[in-house]
Structure 1
């Protein structure tokens, strides 16, 4: 039995589709702007749905936020040497609690202009400030500006650790939102100024003013307020007790920020930059304080803030420390003028990496800036360790042979310290003699990126480029 095939089945389907669309009881498909508006609202709804469980997950183990209104007790830290002797002791310093009306206006303006210019306009998280900081950091290729608001900084300093994790960041946002909902802007600033850390054991602006300038915070001048605001970016770097010249430069940046924010005139800023700040002359101890300061700061990043006494046992050896101090002073007396050097630093390590002695400068009472731990210098031949280790990890052995001869890479021609070339040498001999040409050729052979990866694995954090 033969069957009939429609002459044009596609035309039949098109006609049916037209009838369906023309039916008044059916809606036509969303097109154009209607489609995008629909998708936007669907995305918002799903975002809100997902936000609830995420918030619950990260909020279930938040610390007790009622502590913000409670006075904080200090803690004592004792740093011991290898034999158990006391190297140095530290105690938190808290000054008078200042109400908002007692805080100098110039300090409030300096901090807002530098740390959070839209503080009075946002609700705890400043998306504009965050995007501005992110763009600036990307365009400059380095971290030059943070995106955290004052509320976020207060939440982090009071309740959270310094860990750079997603959990800590989300909890920081939750805390800052809680602060904004429960306190006025003036109250948040009051807690911030009375709790923020300024270095040298000083918590709060009154303690910082007394330690740095020798008077209470109510009497802060414009230049002192700008200097305190500048310290907040990094107390270890910008404290006037650590490095006065660096602190002055940072203070100039703060004054420029105040001009941009409209708080002061440019002429006032320039006049203030020319003034001198009277810094308290504190005899802070011997040169072992370079080491103990470094240890305390590293310990704080590991254990966070504590309210009970802490004893830190270290690997420092007092007799080696004394010899290191004398050796550094002897070298400075003999060679400082020849090399036009004004400072020097020294670190002595055990085979396991323990620090036996550390001298961060010629005189701790003059400058507390630790050139041994904080200054960045070219590693020189010490970096060859990572090259050889990466090479051995990729199958080469100390008995493999390479040629010590001239080499040119894109116009760069490294040479050996002796100016001579030895020809065929084993990697063992090249390492012992610290031959530069062999190290360069070896890095090229195994790929520089593998060398950088090895350096990162062993703890180097400073920027390293492959080119």
Structure 2
């Protein structure tokens, strides 16, 4: 609205302003340009164009032809990933199970393990699983906190998955940074055990995380924990805390004490390996101590209570007597769990044809029983172990891990064939074989006279023969056949401990890695070896230097009869661990009855 009495007249000069050069200006610029071309001393200044798209150099063309399409492609890929991720998220989110579906997940076909004929059932994992639902408020607090402490200490803080833990797992897997660890939360374990296959793929992991996130939205934390304690597998047919308490301690879950609860929590890392019925009780109790220390660290129990629990002597409920060759079968279960996963072994309906010869196994058990009775009466020795293998193929035909698996007084459940023990003089053939590789022979003369050796490990070392006698100059054939100690020590001294250890590793020994522990006494059994390794190494002699990997499984079929794996002897041709001529020389000495007669008599 105009102000009264104020007259303003706009010149509106903008209407008449021309936005292009006048004719005179154009003519002037033409003349200047023409003049500059003819004279060469006058140059018309042309202003440079500015702005991103105004440049006319090569980089402008490059950016327009390459950069712009790349930006468009990147935007398209980003949108595509977002759409696919959203579809995957919503698809997996629709698969969140109900409480009843979680319970039904414990059902499955049982695995059966047979002897090599496929007729004798060594172990049938079927049985009545205790399906009694245990409310969370009936599970002792320390049992709950034991599991949370070691499996998922951030359980009440995360939303289904622990992102920092996943980052640490990724750093270790991709770059080797930090210790190896698991990244699955209790919720993820619940989902994995109930719904997913044991395969380890990124697709399954993504599905697991999405469903775990939705489970957290559908159920409260206490509801998730209650579900977990009622369906988590504890090995064999023990699904849930109640079944585990009955299977391993013969009591209800509500009656478990701190030591027992920590044991069950410790088992969850690998239920077959850490089974109280298996051969790794020492490792199980080590892990129990770890669980208790974690509880102390997080403030769930005090140090005094943890120490009392660590010192408590636990008694485990025995396996049913129906199991045959228990040491062998339980080790075989470990192998299957490593290859196919705990879930597949426990409820995948596998049919396993083992390498075990049931007739030979029975003979072995009877022979060992008689041998123990004799040694117990004569020497006070209470235990023994035996293993038999087919040297041609590496198949394990018989395995007796102790005098009686069910005898707790002498730790019968421990599989002594898998434990390091001193081999005594039976290690001498390995040393002599190494000496032959260095140039000695069965005819080489050694003086069997008392000798002092100065070593870095033993200091002054003076070995003696078992009969405390000296026999003078003898060929190696007789010193080995007569198992004399003094010549044996001289042999390892001449050969070199390192050379002996090198050969031992080639022959299959797995317990001699820390070489700083071994000196000249190695030849007399100063290095602990496993019986199973010892048998494999002696099979190298029997096969003229060829070493075969041990075989425990002949065939595995799934519940539908599909062959998952099958062993064929031609697939295990072996590899040379020892020169054939050296192996033959050792065999010749060990089978030479006349060479040993001067010590042991004929026959």
How would you bin the TM-score normalised by the shorter chain?
0.5 to 0.7
**Closer, same or farther in 2 for the Cα pair 1:370/1:60, shift >3 Å?**
farther
The match for 1:89 among 124, 140, 145 is: 124
Shift of 1:350: 7.4
Q: Deviations 1:61-107 (Å, cap 9, x if unpaired)?
A: 99784522547446444333233123232225224211222222111
The match for 1:195 among 231, 250, 265 is: 231
Q: For residues 139 and 332 of structure 1, what CA distance do their matches in structure 2 show?
A: 49
Q: For residues 309 and 432 of structure 1, what CA distance do their matches in structure 2 show?
A: 37
User: Is 1:50 aligned to 2:81, yes or no?
Assistant: yes
Aligned twin of 1:314: 354
Aligned twin of 1:359: 400
Aligned twin of 1:129: 165
**Closer, same or farther in 2 for the Cα pair 1:403/1:205, shift >3 Å?**
closer
User: Is 1:414 aligned to 2:499, yes or no?
Assistant: yes
**Closer, same or farther in 2 for the Cα pair 1:164/1:363, shift >3 Å?**
farther
CA contact (8 A) 1:209 1:217 kept: yes
The match for 2:187 among 132, 151, 161 is: 151
Q: Which moved more, 1:53-62 or 1:258-267?
A: 53-62
**Closer, same or farther in 2 for the Cα pair 1:140/1:369, shift >3 Å?**
farther
Shift of 1:259: 1.1
CA contact (8 A) 1:328 1:346 kept: no
Structure 1: gaps of 5 or more residues:
21-38, 385-401, 420-428, 436-456, 459-467
Aligned twin of 1:398: none
CA contact (8 A) 1:62 1:171 kept: no
**Closer, same or farther in 2 for the Cα pair 1:312/1:139, shift >3 Å?**
closer
User: Is 1:251 aligned to 2:288, yes or no?
Assistant: yes
**Closer, same or farther in 2 for the Cα pair 1:287/1:330, shift >3 Å?**
farther
Q: Deviations 1:118-176 (Å, cap 9, x if unpaired)?
A: 01111111122334566789889863x32211111112111122222222222222232
Q: For residues 308 and 430 of structure 1, what CA distance do their matches in structure 2 show?
A: 40
Aligned twin of 2:155: 119
Q: Deviations 1:409-434 (Å, cap 9, x if unpaired)?
A: xx973147999xxxxxxxxx999765
User: Is 1:229 aligned to 2:265, yes or no?
Assistant: yes
Q: For residues 374 and 88 of structure 2, what CA distance do their matches in structure 1 show?
A: 63
Aligned twin of 1:79: 113
Shift of 1:268: 2.2
The match for 1:108 among 112, 123, 144 is: 144
**Closer, same or farther in 2 for the Cα pair 1:55/1:413, shift >3 Å?**
farther
CA contact (8 A) 1:110 1:258 kept: yes
**Closer, same or farther in 2 for the Cα pair 1:82/1:432, shift >3 Å?**
closer
SS, match of residue 162 in structure 1: coil
Aligned twin of 1:211: 247
CA contact (8 A) 1:287 1:359 kept: no
CA contact (8 A) 1:348 1:357 kept: yes
Q: Deviations 1:247-290 (Å, cap 9, x if unpaired)?
A: 22221111110111111122222232222234224454565123
Q: Deviations 1:223-258 (Å, cap 9, x if unpaired)?
A: 111111111111123222324433222211111101
Aligned twin of 1:279: 316
Aligned twin of 2:327: 290
SS, match of residue 87 in structure 1: strand
> Aligned residues, how many?
383
Aligned twin of 1:323: 363
Aligned twin of 2:213: 177
Q: For residues 305 and 122 of structure 1, what CA distance do their matches in structure 2 show?
A: 31
Aligned twin of 2:344: 304
Aligned twin of 2:13: none
Aligned twin of 2:19: none
Q: For residues 219 and 392 of structure 2, what CA distance do their matches in structure 1 show?
A: 54
Q: Deviations 1:160-207 (Å, cap 9, x if unpaired)?
A: 222222222222222322322222211211111111111243111001
CA contact (8 A) 1:287 1:325 kept: no
Aligned twin of 2:387: 346
Q: For residues 85 and 147 of structure 2, what CA distance do their matches in structure 1 show?
A: 33
Alignment of 1:33-44 (within 5 A): none
CA contact (8 A) 1:94 1:203 kept: yes
CA contact (8 A) 1:321 1:358 kept: yes
**Closer, same or farther in 2 for the Cα pair 1:147/1:278, shift >3 Å?**
same
Structure 2: gaps of 5 or more residues:
1-33, 55-70, 431-435, 441-495, 505-521, 524-539, 547-570, 573-603
Aligned twin of 1:264: 301
**Closer, same or farther in 2 for the Cα pair 1:356/1:342, shift >3 Å?**
closer
